[in-house]
Amino acid sequence: MSKKLWLSGVAFAGLVVGSIATGSSLVAADNTVGTTNTTVAVTGGTIDLAVPDTLTFPSEPVEGIVRGNVNETVNSADNSLLTINDFRGTDAGYTVSAKASAITAANGDVLPGAAIELTPDAPAVTNADAPTWSKAVTLTDSDQPLFATTKSLNGAGISSYDLNKTTLAIPEDNAVKAESYSGVITFTLTPGQPAAPATAQ
């Protein structure tokens, strides 16, 4: 009997020990938190400039030019947006400048003294990084800066300006011819942070 009891005790002890060992093993392997790394590559794009196809001014009678003081604002019905799309993702900045050709008729007649002035309006697209353009610029046949980025206003994203306040001034001219005149405005986007702010700012 005592032998059997002892064996029973050993067997019982073995079960207890086995249960404890098994329970300890389960606790050590129990894992309720896991982590997974995530990655994404953001690739840089390009920078480009979009300008209006045409800026059209109201018709002007010969009498108005003979009498002088002609100053017409561009027709607001035209698409007059100047837009810079900077998708490079580098904060490298840029400068936008402009110049204008003479305003001439098809036969070569020139509208003497006619001058186009680009006057900034409120930005057409809200962008906290858009460079400031606050001063009007009277165009000549040489490039003049309109606006440029700074370290704090780096121009990243979409910056759009409305040219609907652009004006055409024509001085008094007794010999003006009744013809259709046209000219060309050339806008230039120069990538890179300027050494100093554009003078037109």
Q: What is the pLDDT of residues 100-137, one digit of tens each?
A: 999 999 999 999 899 999 998 877 777 899 999 989 99
Domain count, the chain: 1
Q: What is the pLDDT of residues 166-185, one digit of tens each?
A: 999 999 999 999 999 999 99
Per the domain annotation, does 123 fall within a domain? yes
Place of tokens 């001058």: 115
The arithmetic mean of pLDDT across residues 22-38, rounded, is 75
| Per-residue model confidence (pLDDT) at position 27 | 56
Per the domain annotation, does 170 fall within a domain? no
Per the domain annotation, does 8 fall within a domain? no
Per the domain annotation, does 102 fall within a domain? yes
From residue 82, how far is each of 44, 72, 76, 163, 167 by CA, in Å? 23, 20, 14, 7, 15
Q: What is the pLDDT of residues 56-87, one digit of tens each?
A: 999 999 999 999 879 999 997 778 999 999 99
From residue 103, how far is each of 74, 140, 175, 183 by CA, in Å? 15, 11, 16, 4
Per the domain annotation, does 155 fall within a domain? yes
Q: What ranges make up the beta strands (E) of the chain? A: 47-50, 70-73, 81-86, 94-100, 104-105, 115-118, 137-138, 144-148, 157-162, 167-170, 181-182, 185-191
Question: By residue range, what is the domain housing residue 101?
Answer: 47-55+76-164+182-191
Per the domain annotation, does 63 fall within a domain? no
What is the C-alpha to C-alpha distance for residues 159 and 37, in angstroms, rounded to an integer?
35
Strand order in the sheet with 81-86: 47-50, 81-86, 157-162
* Close Cβ partners of 60 (under 8 Å, ≥ 6 residues apart): 70, 72, 170
Per the domain annotation, does 171 fall within a domain? no
- Flag whether the pTM goes above 0.75: yes
What is the C-alpha to C-alpha distance for residues 190 and 118, in angstroms, rounded to an integer?
19
Per the domain annotation, does 177 fall within a domain? no
| Per-residue model confidence (pLDDT) at position 10 | 37
The arithmetic mean of pLDDT across residues 21-29, rounded, is 55
